[in-house]
Amino acid sequence: MIFIVNTVMLDKKPFQNLISEFKEAGKYRVFNDIIRERGDFPNALWYGPYNIKNIVNWCSNDYLGMGQHKVVIDAMQTALDQTGSGSGGTRNIGGTSHYHVALENELASLHRKSSALLFTSAYVANEWSLIALSKIISNIEFISDSKNHNSLIMGMKHSGAKKQVFEHNNLQDLENRVANSRLAGHTPCIVFESVYSMDGDISPMQQICDIAERYEAITYIDEVHAVGLYGETGGGWTEKLGIQTRVDIVNGTLGKAFGVQGGYIAADSDVTDAIRLVSSGFIFTTSTSPVSCAGAMASIKWLKQNNSIREQHQERANRLKSLMAEARLPVMPNNTHIVPLLIGNAGLCKEISDDLLNEHNMYVQPIQSPTVDVGTERLRFAPTPFHSDSMMSDLILALLTIFKTKNISLNYKSR
């Protein structure tokens, strides 16, 4: 047996204090050790503290179950046999395979752009694309929605460029800020999302494009929770609205609806070419495995031709929201696939999540600060085409049982 003696002269007190603060506030996050069961999604195995249990996963971002799809798995197995496991380098040094090139072409086509650029995640793509824009356009000023994702916030912050924040989805506030930016001699860049993943609401994309065109502003949209899920071929909410060519730069992920891993931007070829030349997060990172690229490409191609799975997904989400509303559970209404159940207390949110997992074999992660504001903590359900009516009935019954046990009032109100 090997004993490791810690000889590092590190004061652990600050670390322990922070951990204690999180635990006392009910915000301490626990990783649930699960294994997805291939061919039986959304069922999974949970390796709990005392035993292994069969559970139903209610919070996977594999929205369409494509991570389990045969065409994806077959494509990845073929690529693995052909290329081996990793890419072998950065994109500039040995890490650009034909799979990378073909996938970028497929993504460009999906978004009706002339080019796309792969990153290791959508977070990295957002952060380093925005940083790169500040290096390319010296007088850029970001005009950011107040509910933008952390990756967008950090990208703008780390860019060092000027920034204004407009009230969430407030078009008048946005226009005032864009107009002032122009008057001050800046190049405004409107940064927003299509689907906001925690509330499930959508942005007024067409009107934002109108404002951008009036003031010759750049538009940068995050479609992470929309690609693959909306539009006739899965091009996102911009495809659904027919405005793909009106948005300058679109960010997307391969790790949610497409069921694999990685992120990207799609834009004019000159834009992506310049970004790749100055984006450190792209230049100095080992590229995505060709195996993942192969799986993503197969997933995108299949979803382009199979709109019915998107229709099934919407039906399942609407069904669950209706059942929750009928049971007077505090579901937050929206027009997307996101099903947030508002709890409003971090500790209670964690308790309900634990009870669902321990007592009812259902896994849904509590969503707490800083992901959402304090006082708006919630359980965020992600029904897929593979969550059956019986699974939904079991979930509603479990929630009602827990609410009754904990004396939580059923206070659903249509908002």
Tens digit of each residue's pLDDT (9 = 90 or more) over 283-336: 999 999 999 999 999 999 999 999 999 999 999 999 999 999 999 999 999 999
Q: Which residues pair with 260 in a beta bridge?
A: none
Q: Where in the chain is the domain with CATH 3.40.640.10?
A: 68-304
Res 211: pLDDT: 98
Please say if 321 is a catalytic residue. no
User: What band does 30 get if pLDDT is binned at 50, 70 and 90?
Assistant: confident
Report the half-sphere exposure of 116 (CA within 13 A, side-chain side). Answer: 27
Structure tokens at 304: 């382009």
Which pLDDT score, from 0 to 100, does residue 412 have? 55
Residue type, 402: I
What CATH fold (topology level) applies to the domain 68-304? Answer: Aspartate Aminotransferase; domain 2 (3.40.640)
Phi and psi at residue 178, to the nearest 5°: -65, -45
CATH 3.90.1150.10-classified regions of the chain: 13-60+308-405
- Count other C-beta atoms under 10 Å from residue 297's C-beta: 24
| Segment 220-246, tens digit of pLDDT | 999 999 999 999 999 999 999 999 999
Read off the pLDDT band of 415 (50, 70, 90): very low
Looking at residue 191, its amino acid is V
Q: Check if the beta carbon of residue 58 is closer than 8 Å to that of residue 363.
A: yes
Region 116-126 average pLDDT: 98
Q: Which CATH superfamily is domain 13-60+308-405 in?
A: Aspartate Aminotransferase, domain 1 (3.90.1150.10)
Instruction: With residue 228 as reference, give the H or E element that holds it.
Output: none
Q: Which whole number is the average pLDDT over 371-399?
A: 96
At residue 33, the pLDDT reads: 92
* Coil, strand or helix at 343: coil
Average pLDDT of span 22-40:
87
> Which tops the pLDDT comparison, 119 or 4?
119
Q: Which residue has the tokens 């046999």?
A: 81
pLDDT at 19 over 60: yes
The single residue of 113, 256, 321, 350 carrying the catalytic annotation is 256
Is pLDDT at 414 greater than 60 in this prediction? no
Beta bridge partners of 367: 378
